[in-house]
Structure 1
Amino acid sequence: MKTVPFDEWPIRLKELLPNASVNFVENERSGIGAIVVLHARRRQLITHRDVQKSRSESEGRETASSSSARKDSKPEPRSLQSPAAGFVARDPAVRAIVRQVETAAARKMPILIRGETGTGKEQLARHAHMASGRTGAFIPVNCAALPESLIESELFGYAEGAFTGARRGGAIGLVREADGGTLFLDEIGDMPVALQAVLLRLLDDWTVRPVGGVRSKVDVFLISATNARLDKAIAEGRFRSDLLYRLNTLEVTLPRLRDRNDFDAIVRHLLNTIDPTCEITPTDIAHLAARPWPGNVRELRNVLARFSLAAADGFINEASAENIVHPAGTESGSLHDIHRARILVVYAETAGNVSETARRLGVSRNTIYRALGQKKPE
């Protein structure tokens, strides 16, 4: 390895760490000098070991990138390459779902996406639209939010003068807005039975008849989603079985957040979209991962938004971490506020030092002992 002259180190360090402050400090009496590097985001001293690690990681990434390019002739889907695509899919089960959806989208097969609230059904639908290569718009429709009396005219449009209060010139309708693109019917299980018959007709011949108008052909890629049990709705007469068979040429179910193994990647992606300057420690990610997350990714996004607001100087520290899950007004300083899993993580990091664990978390030693299931020594 080529030796770098001492007076060139500040320049080289600035190249390796562009966001850092690099300064040369010299003691005039002794003639001994030192290079001080302060990272702009972490506000911490960066040592020679950090520089070597940064250089090794940079070289490793370049080597891995060129090696991967030689080995893999077929690139991964955009969603699997980078979180910037908007849908993180590091979990193997989610990867498989994404690939299935991409194949179905390329063939314009109707897709039914199941999953709990907040699991990312619309994000997956948007990715399917992108993967389809269709040039038209992505039109999302929340079937549960449309008034039953207006849902048909909203979906299929209406001609001028079709009914009292009709807009001059009529309305094109959401289905025709999606012509050449994708129509995403969210909460499909809440669609009125009468309208289900009209939707079934659309799937039969892909023609639309606006209220008071004439029938016309449309080219629409249909994706629907639900968090309801459609089999139960069919048994209760609230959903048509023949419609289900037309909607679920491909049916996929997104896993709950707590069942995925790419939690770390999801947290970092969401935090980057909320505030790119904000960082999070592995300890805090472990604390978040221990929660049940009934609201899934949507709930996590809201918590991380609070997380970024609580962060000091763009860095989430131990003090600010106490407020991310429980907003102001809730109890603090108890086992309900600081999850036992988080206490155990910090306890392990401090090599079993109860006092240091309590100091980092800002709680009493009694709280730590209770979390450990131990009695405080007399």
Structure 2
Amino acid sequence: MKTKHLVTYNFITIHQDATVREVLQSFLDYRQDIACVVEEKKLIGIVTKYSLYRWLLDHANLEANIIHCIKRDVVTLLEEESVYYAKDLLVKENIGHAVVLNKYEDVVGIISKSELIKGFISERQNLVNRLQTLMNNLQESVLSVDTHLHVTSYNTSALTILHKTKSELTGQPITQTFPQIAANLRAVIRTKEIIKHKRLSIGDNTLIASFIPLKEWDTITGAMVVLKDITDFEYIADELETTKKLENMLDNALEVAYDGVVMIDNERNITKANKEFLSLIGISNSSSILGTSIDTVAPELTNHKHTIHSEKIVGELITIQGKKAILTQTPIYQDEQQVGTIIKLISKQLDVWKDLLSHLEKLEHELTYYKESFTAMGQHAGPFAHIVSKSSSMEELKQKALIAARSFSNILITGKSGTGKELIADGIHSASGRTGKFIKINCAAIPEELLESEIFGYSDGAFTGAKKGGKPGKFELAHEGTLFLDEIGDMPMTLQAKLLRILQEKEFERVGGTETIKVDTRIIAATNQDPAKLIAEGTFREDLYYRINVIQLHIPPLSERQEDIQLLCDHFIKKFNTKTNRDVIGISQEHLEKLLDYEWPGNVRQLENVLERAYHFSTSKWIDPEHIVLEKSRDPEASDTHKPPNERLDREKKLQETEKNMLIQALKNAGGNRTKAAKLLGMSRSSFYNKLKKYEVKEATQFM
């Protein structure tokens, strides 16, 4: 603290020509005992009450000039000097006041002994407050006692750790509440020696205590204890010990593992490797590769088609050091953050895996069963809840599909590629109540020479390479269930005839077999082509068309239900977040306009692909617009929505005319017998009558 902090700036200044009366009046007004005689801010001297009293006793003249009362030998201080220096100076000179000057030696104020004393008292109190604040904010607990072991002071932490209130501690003997602490405090007071790092237990807490004697003028006045709670540290120490044991167990497990195992951190550096991995890469000592990049030690892993470290890999076949091995890779997470990756390589006795591979087909069937069971469990949410939409056209389609599902008729689903025909078919099966499986086959994805055996199965020895014992076809697998024939428009004509017979007679023979197999299978077919055009071109049977087209459901393209786009975007981004452990929020409304203005020739599938690409390349919490890449349609007729409204109406009209002509032709061939005509078209009698009513085919003269 400096002198300027205690100086009195409201002081009396007078000139040399002032009278005794004027100075006395100033003393009365200011209630001060000293006045500074100043000339242009420079100190001439001082006049005190006592010097005036003595002069008046001798002269008794109030109007006299005070020049004879001026004391010119004045003790002065600079305002920047320490208060301790000021105190020492006043004591040394045995005076009660000093004049304070600034650095230019101008008079700025007066300082007195009383002001110094007040300053020291204030500073002492501030120091006490700071010390108390410091004590209360210490993590350690501090408590002091007098020589009779009565508590004299403590900090906030002591109240917490001792589970006491202020009234329970202040002035109370510590011997009654904490005898283990009291015994050590008594020993410190007696021996005057510090006791360090004493281990104590209070309640459930483990403490380290230090006991210190307190002295004043070399006399013991009490003692102090400092307590440190180490309960958490002991817990951490136990965890570290447990972790060390687990690490030793992991090391031992890796060493006895039959497979090669290597672990890497986020920087792709090797942290652990067992003997089998070292043997596989031709290295004898693990210490030579620890901390080394996996890219250097095993470049075959880096050159693998999957990116090491960033994803989970199960059962990929690779070649490492000229040896075949099966790679399994799993990321390691801690607190939802990836901290490394564990890689397992199986290279010994790979022929043992052949038996496992032979069971893959059985596992596929089991997986289908469990999938259907899971779907059945979620029926309370509706069989079409997995189809994301809110547009009126899609909601109407779901209602129609639900009605169709509860019927026994075959269903034809039409719509452009990527609109979700398989999802609708899956929902129809779930809502149908049929106890069998939902079996699907893509007629366009399987070569023509294999398609027949896939659909109808084959018998033992039906052809070279046939599985021993034969193999059931999709029709058998879908018994009492549903067979979904996707892209049926690409089915060869020879198979169309056989399929028509099965639909009519509900029985068939396997390829190369003679046994007749009866089935109860519902058919749901789907195509993205124009059935009327295929029939006109002679690539699709007209009678088969009427067999599968008992109920037709058309899925509108994405361009006709723009209100579903944002809903689909949110759905796909949540799906990607689940797979990658990222937290992308979505796509902003401003950039959503870019998607709404697009025609989407690839429909929902194209939307998902566009978003997936943008998701992986975006680095922020929102999908970046520059990563949304929309291709121009290479096929101007890829979607009906690209055509003018009049052209779309013309196509629908032509399709209806073709269907009406088929009805009339069948009636002509049947001689007007409607039941026979319906049978010729492979339709039920009720469906045939409904279509006659739809196209207003009423009089026999129309076809006779």
How far has the Cα of 1:154 moved from its partner?
1.2
How far has the Cα of 1:131 moved from its partner?
1.3
How far has the Cα of 1:278 moved from its partner?
2.3
Q: Assess if the C-alpha contact under 8 Å between 1:267 and 1:285 holds in 2.
A: no
Matched, 1:282 2:586: no
Q: Assess if the C-alpha contact under 8 Å between 2:456 and 2:472 holds in 1.
A: yes
Residue 78 of structure 1 aligns to which amino acid in structure 2?
G
Aligned to 2:159: none
**1:228-264 deviation per Cα after TM superposition (whole angstroms, max 9, x unaligned):** 1111111111111110101011111111111113222
Matched, 1:253 2:551: no
SS state of the match for residue 223, structure 1?
Answer: strand
Aligned to 2:474: 174
Aligned to 2:382: 78
Measure the CA separation in 1 of the matches of 2:564 and 2:426. 20
**1:144-169 deviation per Cα after TM superposition (whole angstroms, max 9, x unaligned):** 12222222111101110122322101
Q: Assess if the C-alpha contact under 8 Å between 1:275 and 1:308 holds in 2.
A: no
Against the structure 1 CA distance between its residues 79 and 131, is the aligned structure 2 distance closer, same or farther, given a 3 Å change threshold? closer
Matched, 1:231 2:532: yes
SS state of the match for residue 140, structure 1?
Answer: strand
**1:188-237 deviation per Cα after TM superposition (whole angstroms, max 9, x unaligned):** 01111111011101111221211122111112121111111111111111
1:302 to 588, 609, 612: 609
Aligned to 1:321: 625
Q: Which structure carries more strand by proportion?
A: 2
Measure the CA separation in 2 of the matches of 1:271 and 1:133. 33
Please show how residues 1-378 of structure 1 align to structure 2 within 5 Å.
78=382, 85-213=385-513, 214-260=515-561, 261-276=563-578, 277-280=583-586, 281-312=588-619, 315-316=621-622, 320-325=624-629
SS state of the match for residue 141, structure 1?
Answer: strand
Q: Assess if the C-alpha contact under 8 Å between 2:383 and 2:431 holds in 1.
A: no
SS state of the match for residue 500, structure 2?
Answer: helix
Measure the CA separation in 1 of the matches of 2:520 and 2:557. 33
SS state of the match for residue 449, structure 2?
Answer: coil
**Structure 1 runs of 4+ with >6 Å offset:** none
**1:64-113 deviation per Cα after TM superposition (whole angstroms, max 9, x unaligned):** xxxxxxxxxxx997266xxxx32123111111111111111122321111
Measure the CA separation in 2 of the matches of 1:127 and 1:161. 38
Against the structure 1 CA distance between its residues 311 and 79, is the aligned structure 2 distance closer, same or farther, given a 3 Å change threshold? farther
Measure the CA separation in 1 of the matches of 2:553 and 2:628. 32
Residue 251 of structure 1 aligns to which amino acid in structure 2?
Q
Q: Assess if the C-alpha contact under 8 Å between 1:101 and 1:111 holds in 2.
A: no
**1:129-186 deviation per Cα after TM superposition (whole angstroms, max 9, x unaligned):** 1111223222111111222222211110111012232210101011111112211111
Residue 529 of structure 2 aligns to which amino acid in structure 1?
A
SS state of the match for residue 523, structure 2?
Answer: strand
TM-score under structure 1 length normalisation: 0.61
SS state of the match for residue 113, structure 1?
Answer: strand
Residue 279 of structure 1 aligns to which amino acid in structure 2?
I
Q: Assess if the C-alpha contact under 8 Å between 1:278 and 1:311 holds in 2.
A: no
The structure whose RCO (Cα within 8 Å, separation 6+) is larger is 1
TM-score under structure 2 length normalisation: 0.34
Q: Assess if the C-alpha contact under 8 Å between 1:110 and 1:248 holds in 2.
A: yes
Against the structure 1 CA distance between its residues 326 and 101, is the aligned structure 2 distance closer, same or farther, given a 3 Å change threshold? closer
What percent identity do the matched residue pairs reach?
43
> CA RMSD for the aligned pairs?
2.2
**1:6-43 deviation per Cα after TM superposition (whole angstroms, max 9, x unaligned):** xxxxxxxxxxxxxxxxxxxxxxxxxxxxxxxxxxxxxx
SS state of the match for residue 225, structure 1?
Answer: strand
How far has the Cα of 1:284 moved from its partner?
2.4
Measure the CA separation in 2 of the matches of 1:324 and 1:114. 29
Measure the CA separation in 1 of the matches of 2:569 and 2:390. 12
Measure the CA separation in 2 of the matches of 1:94 and 1:76. 20
- Structure 1, unmatched stretches of 5+, are 1-74, 328-378
SS state of the match for residue 472, structure 2?
Answer: coil
Against the structure 1 CA distance between its residues 298 and 195, is the aligned structure 2 distance closer, same or farther, given a 3 Å change threshold? same
Measure the CA separation in 2 of the matches of 1:105 and 1:253. 15
Measure the CA separation in 2 of the matches of 1:254 and 1:77. 21
Against the structure 1 CA distance between its residues 292 and 278, is the aligned structure 2 distance closer, same or farther, given a 3 Å change threshold? same
- Structure 2, unmatched stretches of 5+, are 1-378, 632-704
Measure the CA separation in 2 of the matches of 1:192 and 1:99. 33
Q: Assess if the C-alpha contact under 8 Å between 1:209 and 1:216 holds in 2.
A: yes
How far has the Cα of 1:293 moved from its partner?
1.1
Measure the CA separation in 1 of the matches of 2:419 and 2:521. 25
Residue 414 of structure 2 aligns to which amino acid in structure 1?
R
Q: Assess if the C-alpha contact under 8 Å between 2:383 and 2:428 holds in 1.
A: no
Measure the CA separation in 1 of the matches of 2:605 and 2:410. 25
